[in-house]
Amino acid sequence: MISIFSRNKPSTDEALVRQYKSSNDLDILGDLYSRYMDLVFGVCIKYLKNKDEAQDAVIHIFEKIAVSLKQVNVEKFRPWLYVVAKNFCLMELRKKKHLEVSIDDDAFNIEKNMESDYEMHPIDRVDEEKNELALKRCIEKLKLAQKESIELFYFQELSYQEISDKMEVDIKKVKSYIQNAKRNLKICLEASDA
């Protein structure tokens, strides 16, 4: 009897990413993703705080990366996947917050139940329609390096290392750019709400 696991598979994450991109074979992506399902599930539990929602998120994240991997250049799969999983969970919380707050603003304050890490991301706090324009204006006001870092981190979902490589700056500078950009965005958004 021949095992389906006996076929020759590239052993590195990056080799599997290349093979998936060239073949579009979901089995290859499944082999790669299975290495990090525990990591993804852990991230989802951390943010969503619900086992069933976390299990659903693991499936949705797989579907998301099946598309995303074809569009972006991923040098290190594990940190990229971590960022994708985290951003997915934050977006789910944002949707949930929007639904719950719109039902009755005073009935439930979801911010009390979230980690401070989530609240400190102004991009994740922005109300979808009302503040999207304000957010774009605030991003445009950022210094060039901060603006580029924020766009790569949030909109292209690159890891710190990938941003560092792309911008050709030290990873500590990238973290500093993103942290300063988030602070400046928060200040700008609060000023536009006033």
pLDDT tens-digit readout, 15-69: 999 999 999 999 999 999 999 999 999 999 999 999 999 999 999 999 999 999 9
Tell me where in the chain the CATH 1.10.1740.10 domain(s) lie.
Answer: 8-109
Q: In Å, how far from its chain's centre is CA 15? A: 23
The per-residue pLDDT for range 54-112, each reduced to its tens digit, is: 999 999 999 999 999 988 888 889 999 999 999 999 999 888 876 655 444 444 444 44
Q: Which CATH class is domain 8-109?
A: mainly alpha
Q: What pLDDT is recorded for position 193?
A: 64
pTM of the predicted protein model: 0.49
DSSP H stretches of helix in the chain: 13-23, 26-34, 37-48, 51-71, 77-103, 116-119, 122-125, 132-141, 144-150, 160-167, 171-193
- The rounded distance, in Å, linking the Cα atoms of 163 and 148 is 9
Domain 120-194, what fold?
Answer: Arc Repressor Mutant, subunit A (1.10.10)
